[in-house]
Amino acid sequence: MRVLAAIAACLLLPGVVAAQGDPMQTKVDVLMRNYDGDVPGAAVLVLHEGEAVVRRGYGLADLGTRAPVTPASNFRLASLTKQFTAAAVLLLAEDGRLRLDDPVRKWLPTLPPAADPVTVHHLLSHTSGLIDYEEVMPDAIDGQLRDADVLALLEPHDRLYFAPGTQYRYSNSAYALLALIVGKASGSDFAAFLRERIFLPLGMARTVAFEDGKSTVADRAYGHSRVDRGWARSDQSPTSAVLGDGGIYSSIDDLAKWDAALYDDRLLSDASRALAFAAQTTTPTGEDDVDAYGYGWRLHGDLRWHSGETIGFRNVTLRFPRERLTVVVLSNRDHPEPYATARAIADLWLAGTARHDP
């Protein structure tokens, strides 16, 4: 809350305050001013009642080429990917190709016996108790890990953190395994399934689960990290090629199409969307502004949201379905975290909505 108050106070600073009656865009520009100029930047989307009321890029997508961030710039979504992974599983459940109560070892039998009680539902809701693959990966690896490598890392460890369903613990391992299950249940592979069943049907033709050597990222924003008082490219890590937990690249323009599909049954049935946005956890999450977790979404009161953090990128999506308001901030830099800024942007519209409520 102190961070939100500090950001709100910036709107009152002499020289940067937007005069009363100025467009909301001016106030958003004030909040985003540190992303503008010759620095790694960000793309901001505000959707209100189905309209893009803010759609703008700030700063640079690549310090080397000085390419600017635009609404078409594609950022690595990191954990914003999880909502797409969950949607892929829900589509296959609708198809009758899998069940949410399937034991995970039905699909991935090489997992150790400790995983016997783990179901697909547990993976989706971060209640599986599976160990974090980053805790057991070697200090040095040749190349990058992929989803199948995550399975191989887990196979020798016949233990869980807790009995499935009894606790919540955010799990990248779970979503990497879900990508493998999507491939097995669909008879395709995860990246191809996403493209054929989600991206192309929704017109998200430039969104991709990126596989080096197999696919490309158009208008790519490259990740950067703070070094002393400057910035250095830091676009890839040993885990950047794992797809299910964070490998999708997309733009605010394509994410606007995704957001629209979350209001009706053009992609997922009403029942599947209800599952995605329902509390699937029953114990405290221990995370700020997270009352419960759905399938690929954090839940906090009326807010449905998710963040995405990986080397060189920090992203967030906030959805307020009752107000038909969505805020997306995608950034190709490791600092700052954009959640507080996105909340401050959302508050500009939520305050206006509150004033007009009967």
Q: Which domain holds residue 196?
A: 74-333
pTM for the structure as a whole: 0.92
Residue 64 lies in a domain: no
Tell which residue, 227, 216, 220, 219, has the closest CA to residue 39.
Answer: 227
Residue 129 lies in a domain: yes
How far apart (Å, rounded) are the C-alpha atoms in residues 196 and 40? 32
Structure token digits, residue 25: 């865009």
Residue 93 lies in a domain: yes
Tell which residue, 322, 345, 342, has the closest CA to residue 331.
Answer: 342
Strand duo 292-293 + 208-209: pairing: unpaired
Calculate the dihedral angle through the C-alpha atoms of 89, 90, 93, 99, rounding to the nearest 10 degrees.
70
Kindly report, residue by residue over 290-315, the tens digit of the pLDDT.
999 999 999 999 999 999 999 999 99
Kindly report, residue by residue over 94-108, the tens digit of the pLDDT.
999 999 999 999 999
How far apart (Å, rounded) are the C-alpha atoms in residues 260 and 256? 6
How far apart (Å, rounded) are the C-alpha atoms in residues 334 and 235? 10
Residue 286 lies in a domain: yes
Residue 308 lies in a domain: yes
Kindly report, residue by residue over 115-131, the tens digit of the pLDDT.
999 999 999 999 999 99
Q: What helix, strand, coil percent values describe the chain, rounded to 5? A: 35, 20, 45
| SS3 call for 40 | strand
Strand duo 313-320 + 75-76: pairing: unpaired
Write the DSSP symbol of residue 337.
-
Residue 265 lies in a domain: yes
Q: CA-CA distances (angstroms) from residue 47 to 86, 183, 258, 267, 280?
A: 23, 33, 12, 19, 27
Residue 3 lies in a domain: no
Tell which residue, 25, 60, 23, 66, has the closest CA to residue 45.
Answer: 25
Residue 351 lies in a domain: no
CATH code of the domain containing 202: 3.40.710.10
Per-residue pLDDT of the chain (358 residues; tens, 9 = 90+): 333 444 443 433 322 333 344 478 999 999 999 999 999 999 999 999 999 999 999 999 999 999 999 999 999 999 999 999 999 999 999 999 999 999 999 999 999 999 999 999 999 999 999 999 999 988 888 889 999 999 999 999 999 999 999 999 999 999 999 999 999 999 999 999 999 999 999 999 999 999 999 999 999 999 999 998 899 999 999 889 999 999 999 999 999 999 999 999 999 999 999 999 999 999 999 999 999 999 999 999 999 999 999 999 999 999 999 999 999 999 999 999 999 999 999 999 998 754 444 3
Strand duo 60-62 + 51-58: pairing: unpaired
Kindly report, residue by residue over 313-325, the tens digit of the pLDDT.
999 999 999 999 9
Domain count, the chain: 1
Q: Which residues, other chains included, contact 65 with Cβ-Cβ below 8 Å and sequence gap of 6+?
A: none
C-alpha 27: how far from its chain's center?
A: 25
How far apart (Å, rounded) are the C-alpha atoms in residues 279 and 291? 8
Tell which residue, 127, 124, 130, 178, has the closest CA to residue 157.
Answer: 130
pLDDT for position 209: 98
Q: Sheet containing 75-76: which strands, arranged edge to edge?
A: 75-76, 248-250, 208-209
Whether 123 contacts 98, CB under 8 Å: no
Whether 164 contacts 75, CB under 8 Å: no
